[in-house]
Protein backbone atom coordinates (compact mmCIF):
# COMPACT_ATOMS: atom_id res chain seq x y z
CA UNK A 1 0.00 0.00 0.00
CA UNK A 2 1.27 3.47 -0.87
CA UNK A 3 1.62 5.50 2.31
CA UNK A 4 2.16 9.24 2.80
CA UNK A 5 5.73 10.35 3.45
CA UNK A 6 6.18 12.19 6.73
CA UNK A 7 7.96 15.49 6.24
CA UNK A 8 10.39 17.65 8.19
CA UNK A 9 8.80 18.71 11.47
CA UNK A 10 7.10 15.34 12.06
CA UNK A 11 7.95 13.89 15.47
CA UNK A 12 8.54 10.35 14.17
CA UNK A 13 11.51 11.55 12.08
CA UNK A 14 13.37 12.53 15.27
CA UNK A 15 12.83 9.28 17.20
CA UNK A 16 15.35 6.47 17.53
CA UNK A 17 13.55 3.61 15.81
CA UNK A 18 13.02 0.38 17.71
CA UNK A 19 14.30 -2.94 16.33
CA UNK A 20 11.87 -4.91 14.21
CA UNK A 21 10.51 -7.99 15.99
CA UNK A 22 11.86 -10.81 13.78
CA UNK A 23 9.15 -13.11 15.14
CA UNK A 24 6.49 -10.99 13.45
CA UNK A 25 7.30 -12.05 9.90
CA UNK A 26 3.99 -10.99 8.32
CA UNK A 27 4.14 -7.53 9.89
CA UNK A 28 7.68 -7.05 8.58
CA UNK A 29 6.70 -8.26 5.10
CA UNK A 30 3.75 -5.86 5.03
CA UNK A 31 5.94 -2.95 6.13
CA UNK A 32 8.62 -3.82 3.56
CA UNK A 33 5.95 -4.06 0.83
CA UNK A 34 4.55 -0.68 1.83
CA UNK A 35 8.04 0.84 1.77
CA UNK A 36 8.75 -0.48 -1.75
CA UNK A 37 5.35 0.66 -3.09
CA UNK A 38 5.69 4.09 -1.50
CA UNK A 39 9.26 4.47 -2.77
CA UNK A 40 8.20 3.58 -6.32
CA UNK A 41 5.35 6.10 -6.19
CA UNK A 42 7.60 8.88 -4.90
CA UNK A 43 10.48 8.54 -7.35
CA UNK A 44 13.18 8.33 -4.64
CA UNK A 45 16.15 6.00 -4.24
CA UNK A 46 15.63 5.03 -0.59
CA UNK A 47 13.07 5.06 2.18
CA UNK A 48 13.19 4.28 5.89
CA UNK A 49 10.20 3.11 7.95
CA UNK A 50 10.09 6.33 10.05
CA UNK A 51 9.45 8.23 6.82
CA UNK A 52 6.10 6.45 6.53
CA UNK A 53 5.30 6.91 10.21
CA UNK A 54 6.66 3.61 11.55
CA UNK A 55 9.43 3.96 14.14
CA UNK A 56 10.99 0.59 13.26
CA UNK A 57 14.49 -0.24 11.98
CA UNK A 58 13.59 -1.16 8.39
CA UNK A 59 14.96 0.45 5.20
CA UNK A 60 14.73 -0.11 1.45
CA UNK A 61 17.10 1.28 -1.21
CA UNK A 62 16.85 1.17 -5.00
CA UNK A 63 19.96 2.12 -6.93
CA UNK A 64 18.29 1.41 -10.27
CA UNK A 65 16.81 4.92 -10.29
CA UNK A 66 20.36 6.33 -10.14
CA UNK A 67 21.95 3.93 -12.65
CA UNK A 68 21.91 6.49 -15.47
CA UNK A 69 24.37 8.58 -13.40
CA UNK A 70 26.04 5.66 -11.58
CA UNK A 71 25.94 2.62 -13.92
CA UNK A 72 27.33 0.32 -11.20
CA UNK A 73 24.00 0.72 -9.36
CA UNK A 74 22.03 -1.13 -12.06
CA UNK A 75 20.13 -3.87 -10.26
CA UNK A 76 21.16 -2.62 -6.81
CA UNK A 77 18.10 -3.12 -4.60
CA UNK A 78 18.24 -3.98 -0.92
CA UNK A 79 15.93 -4.42 2.03
CA UNK A 80 17.55 -3.89 5.43
CA UNK A 81 15.90 -5.10 8.64
CA UNK A 82 17.66 -4.20 11.91
CA UNK A 83 20.83 -3.02 10.16
CA UNK A 84 24.05 -2.26 12.04
CA UNK A 85 27.09 -0.52 10.57
CA UNK A 86 30.05 -2.64 11.64
CA UNK A 87 32.78 -0.54 10.04
CA UNK A 88 33.11 2.86 8.37
CA UNK A 89 36.09 4.05 6.38
CA UNK A 90 38.11 7.03 7.51
CA UNK A 91 38.08 8.15 3.88
CA UNK A 92 35.05 10.33 3.20
CA UNK A 93 33.12 11.55 0.18
CA UNK A 94 30.91 14.57 -0.34
CA UNK A 95 27.65 14.30 -2.28
CA UNK A 96 24.72 16.60 -2.75
CA UNK A 97 21.85 14.93 -0.90
CA UNK A 98 18.12 15.40 -0.92
CA UNK A 99 15.37 13.58 0.94
CA UNK A 100 11.73 12.73 0.35
CA UNK A 101 11.00 14.00 3.88
CA UNK A 102 12.66 17.34 3.11
CA UNK A 103 11.23 18.20 -0.33
CA UNK A 104 13.06 20.80 -2.39
CA UNK A 105 16.15 20.99 -0.17
CA UNK A 106 19.57 19.77 -1.34
CA UNK A 107 22.89 20.09 0.50
CA UNK A 108 26.40 18.70 0.34
CA UNK A 109 26.96 16.11 3.06
CA UNK A 110 30.24 14.42 4.03
CA UNK A 111 29.97 10.72 4.93
CA UNK A 112 32.30 7.72 5.04
CA UNK A 113 33.07 6.43 1.54
CA UNK A 114 32.84 2.75 2.52
CA UNK A 115 30.83 0.87 5.11
CA UNK A 116 30.38 -2.72 6.24
CA UNK A 117 26.84 -3.61 7.35
CA UNK A 118 25.18 -6.52 9.14
CA UNK A 119 21.44 -6.84 8.52
CA UNK A 120 18.52 -9.13 7.80
CA UNK A 121 17.27 -9.06 4.22
CA UNK A 122 13.67 -9.20 3.02
CA UNK A 123 13.60 -12.97 3.66
CA UNK A 124 14.97 -12.32 7.17
CA UNK A 125 18.25 -14.01 6.36
CA UNK A 126 21.27 -12.53 8.12
CA UNK A 127 23.83 -10.89 5.83
CA UNK A 128 27.08 -8.97 6.08
CA UNK A 129 27.90 -6.78 3.12
CA UNK A 130 30.24 -3.94 2.19
CA UNK A 131 29.15 -0.87 0.23
CA UNK A 132 31.10 2.00 -1.26
CA UNK A 133 30.61 5.18 -3.25
CA UNK A 134 26.98 6.12 -3.93
CA UNK A 135 25.66 2.74 -2.74
CA UNK A 136 27.19 3.48 0.67
CA UNK A 137 25.74 6.99 0.50
CA UNK A 138 22.18 5.76 -0.06
CA UNK A 139 22.48 3.21 2.74
CA UNK A 140 24.04 5.67 5.21
CA UNK A 141 21.42 8.33 4.45
CA UNK A 142 18.56 5.91 5.12
CA UNK A 143 20.19 4.43 8.22
CA UNK A 144 20.47 7.97 9.64
CA UNK A 145 16.66 8.10 9.63
CA UNK A 146 16.64 5.14 12.02
CA UNK A 147 18.51 7.26 14.57
CA UNK A 148 16.36 10.37 14.16
CA UNK A 149 18.98 12.17 12.07
CA UNK A 150 18.16 14.05 8.88
CA UNK A 151 20.75 15.00 6.27
CA UNK A 152 20.20 18.67 7.08
CA UNK A 153 21.61 17.98 10.56
CA UNK A 154 24.93 17.00 8.96
CA UNK A 155 25.59 20.05 6.79
CA UNK A 156 27.88 22.97 7.53
CA UNK A 157 26.29 25.52 9.90
CA UNK A 158 26.31 28.27 7.25
CA UNK A 159 24.44 26.01 4.82
CA UNK A 160 21.92 25.12 7.52
CA UNK A 161 21.22 28.84 7.99
CA UNK A 162 20.73 29.22 4.24
CA UNK A 163 18.03 26.52 4.15
CA UNK A 164 16.37 27.45 7.47
CA UNK A 165 13.44 29.27 5.82
CA UNK A 166 12.74 26.32 3.51
CA UNK A 167 12.78 23.98 6.53
CA UNK A 168 10.36 26.27 8.37
CA UNK A 169 7.98 26.20 5.39
CA UNK A 170 8.12 22.40 5.27
CA UNK A 171 7.47 22.09 9.01
CA UNK A 172 4.52 24.46 8.64
CA UNK A 173 3.02 22.24 5.93
CA UNK A 174 3.51 24.82 3.18
CA UNK A 175 5.76 22.91 0.77
CA UNK A 176 4.22 20.97 -2.10
CA UNK A 177 5.64 17.64 -3.26
CA UNK A 178 4.93 15.41 -6.25
CA UNK A 179 3.90 12.61 -3.85
CA UNK A 180 1.56 12.29 -0.88
CA UNK A 181 3.01 13.81 2.30
CA UNK A 182 2.00 14.08 5.93
CA UNK A 183 3.04 16.31 8.83
CA UNK A 184 2.42 15.03 12.37
CA UNK A 185 4.03 17.10 15.12
The answer to whether 102 and 7 have CB atoms below 8 angstroms apart is yes
Q: Which of 54, 97, 140, 142 is catalytic?
A: 142
The answer to whether the beta carbons of residues 85 and 76 sit under 8 Å apart is no
Tell me how far apart the alpha carbons of residues 57 and 46 are, in angstroms, rounded to a whole number: 14
Phi, psi of 163 (to 5 degrees): -100, 0
For the chain, the residue count is: 185
R_g over Cα of the chain? 16
Residue 138, SS3 per DSSP: helix
Helix, strand, coil proportions of the chain in percent (round to 5)?
35, 30, 30
- Catalytic-residue membership of 142: yes
Q: What pairs with residue 59 in β-bridges? A: 48, 80
Q: Catalytic amino acids?
A: 142
Amino acid sequence: MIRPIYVYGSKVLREIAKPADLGKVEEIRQLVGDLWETLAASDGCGLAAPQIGESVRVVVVNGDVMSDVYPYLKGFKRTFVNPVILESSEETATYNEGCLSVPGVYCDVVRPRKIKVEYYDGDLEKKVEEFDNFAARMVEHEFSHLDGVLFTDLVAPIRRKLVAKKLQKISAGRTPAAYKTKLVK
